[in-house]
């Protein structure tokens, strides 16, 4: 599938592993090939224990690993240093795995829910303390990502799931405050953006080259084409930007995935083909 902006740009469709039915990874990869996907996104929890299985299955498939989605222990912004240490340890291990598997990067959500750090006003409130801590943490993690030829991908979530990185501009603020290190980037999720962004195309364009991954989910977090989201303005912005990385399905399945997933892939290909 190609979007052209003066040069040929290949936009690759990926799908999270958990969406696909199958008794083995090899079977799931075969289905993705048949449905026209190019990538697969893995959940990160203890994924290093599956490295051999993944490498063996990939050796017989045209499907590549797009990304690893979170799955680390601890909490990067917990007041307990032990929790932070666990998170950093797991994240570095997953970044190493992402590099070994040739993935674009590891999706990183710094915190779910509300803040856990104390309010230390007038020095700083809890959110500013989180940002100060996060900036120092992503500098270290971005260096680890760069060493493994992969990326740490900051993911903004909607305001019902997190409070810190809610809009794309929030992730860009952290990247800027960290000095835009080479191993740090942002990803955008259509489901979350549809809830919190005033102007999705503008948010994507503001990210520019920092944008290195996209999640596709319809409202209310169904597969693309089953909900109410108009993907066209955002997709047009991605085309105009020359975006050429993966767009991965992250969504619930309301019926038989063997029917709905290929239908959603066909829907997205039609949306892309209709762009100006």
CATH number at residue 239: 3.20.20.150
Structure tokens that stand for 130 in this block:
């989180």
Structure confidence by residue, pLDDT tens digits, 36-87: 999 999 999 999 999 999 999 999 999 999 999 999 999 999 999 999 999 9
CA nearest to 110, candidates 147, 136, 146, 144: 136
Query: Which residues, 6+ apart, have CB-to-CB distance to 19 below 8 Å?
Result: 223, 249, 251, 253, 257, 261
Please say whether the beta carbons of 71 and 47 come within 8 A: yes
Evaluated on CA atoms 223, 17, 106, 267, the torsion sign reads negative
Owning domain of residue 15: 2-273
Q: Name the domain count of the chain.
A: 1
Structure confidence by residue, pLDDT tens digits, 130-180: 999 999 999 999 999 999 999 999 999 999 999 999 999 999 999 999 999
pLDDT at 3: 37
Q: What percent of the chain has pLDDT over 90?
A: 96
**Burial of 238: CB neighbours in 10 Å, binned 0-12, 13-18, 19+:** buried
- Polymer length of the chain: 276
pTM of the model: 0.95
pLDDT at 6: 38
Please say whether the beta carbons of 233 and 275 come within 8 A: no
């Amino acid at each position: 599938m190609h979007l052209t902006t003066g040069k040929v740009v290949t936009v690759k469709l990926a799908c999270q592993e958990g969406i696909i039915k199958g008794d083995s990874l090899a079977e799931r990869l075969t289905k993705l090939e048949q449905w026209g996907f190019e990538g697969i996104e893995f959940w990160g929890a203890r994924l290093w224990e599956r490295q051999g299985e993944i490498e063996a299955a990939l050796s017989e498939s045209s499907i590549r690993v797009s990304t690893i989605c979170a799955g680390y222990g601890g909490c990067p912004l917990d007041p307990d240093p032990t929790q932070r240490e666990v998170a950093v340890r797991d994240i570095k291990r997953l970044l190493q795995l992402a590099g070994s598997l040739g993935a674009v990067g590891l999706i990183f959500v710094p915190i779910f829910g509300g803040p856990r750090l104390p309010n230390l006003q007038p020095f700083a409130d809890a959110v500013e303390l989180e940002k100060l801590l996060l900036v120092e943490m992503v500098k270290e993690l971005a260096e680890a990502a760069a060493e493994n030829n992969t990326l740490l991908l900051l993911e903004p979530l909607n305001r019902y799931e997190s409070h810190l990185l809610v809009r794309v501009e929030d992730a860009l603020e952290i990247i800027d405050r960290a000095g835009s290190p080479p191993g740090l980037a942002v990803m955008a999720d259509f489901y979350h953006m549809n809830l919190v962004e005033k102007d999705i195309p503008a948010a994507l364009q503001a990210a520019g080259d920092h944008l290195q991954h996209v999640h596709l989910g319809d409202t209310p977090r169904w597969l693309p084409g089953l909900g109410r989201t108009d993907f066209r303005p955002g997709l047009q912005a991605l085309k105009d930007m020359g975006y050429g990385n993966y767009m991965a399905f992250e969504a619930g399945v309301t019926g038989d995935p063997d029917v709905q997933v290929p239908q959603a892939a066909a829907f997205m290909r039609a949306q892309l083909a209709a762009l100006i």
